Amino acid sequence: MTLIEALNNLELRTLAGQTPETLKAIYFALANKLHPDKGGNTTHFVRVKQAYQTLITELKKQESSAEINLIQAKLDSAAAIIASYKKLFTQQINLIKNSGNSLDQIHRQYSIISDKLTETLQLELSKLDHRRNIPWWKIMTGVNPMTQAEYNQQYNQIISHYNTILDQANDKFVTELLETYKTINDQLIDILSKV
């Protein structure tokens, strides 16, 4: 059955504006009126049923086509968005790679300073222990051993001096890191503003 025949059988001019529910209501009204048990024509009753099935199928095709077009439009839009994000991510990766080199350099410098400070601390504490633990024969020659109070005072001075230098190194390290991160952040904001 053609679409025009189906429209005529359900007494419709066009399928536009119809929904499955309205077609069903029209079909049931006509089928009820034309039903053979109520004195209707069997041939016309069968044609109304075929017309209903034809129009429902056509309506579903139109809805599917509209959905496919909508999905295609969304896919096209998504592809454009993906392309712009790909460009953005490429820029971010390049930025991170370049920034990583800067951060590695800062970390290497800090590690060298930290290792040198730890080495110096160990050396100073070793010297202090050596001055405290004088062999008995030096004591016999008149060299006075360090008292516990003197040892504690010098130990605390060494640790305090170490902590002061370490704090300065940490402050410099943190400042350099913050400046680097700020630069990275500014560059990221610049990249994101282009999207």
* Ordered per-residue pLDDT tens for the chain, 195 residues: 888 888 888 888 888 888 889 989 998 888 888 888 887 778 888 888 999 899 899 888 888 888 888 889 888 888 887 887 787 778 777 777 777 677 777 778 888 888 888 888 888 888 888 777 777 667 677 777 777 888 889 889 988 988 898 888 888 888 887 888 788 778 778 777 776
Average pLDDT, the chain: 83
Q: How open is the CA angle 186-188-194, to the nearest 5 degrees?
A: 110
Query: pLDDT for 63-76, tens place per residue?
Result: 888 888 888 988 88
pTM higher than the cut 0.85: no
> What does the alpha-carbon distance between residue 90 and residue 151 come to, in Å, rounded to a whole number?
60
Contact between residue 56 and residue 26 where contact means Cβ atoms under 8 Å apart: no
The alpha carbon of 181 is separated from its chain's Cα centroid by a whole number of angstroms, namely 19
Contact between residue 124 and residue 165 where contact means Cβ atoms under 8 Å apart: no
Burial classification of residue 88, based on how many CB atoms lie within 10 Å of its CB (0-12 exposed, 13-18 middle, 19 or more buried):
middle
- Domain range 3-74, CATH architecture: Orthogonal Bundle (1.10)
Contact between residue 36 and residue 45 where contact means Cβ atoms under 8 Å apart: yes
Burial classification of residue 30, based on how many CB atoms lie within 10 Å of its CB (0-12 exposed, 13-18 middle, 19 or more buried):
buried
Domain residue extents for the chain: 3-74, 86-193
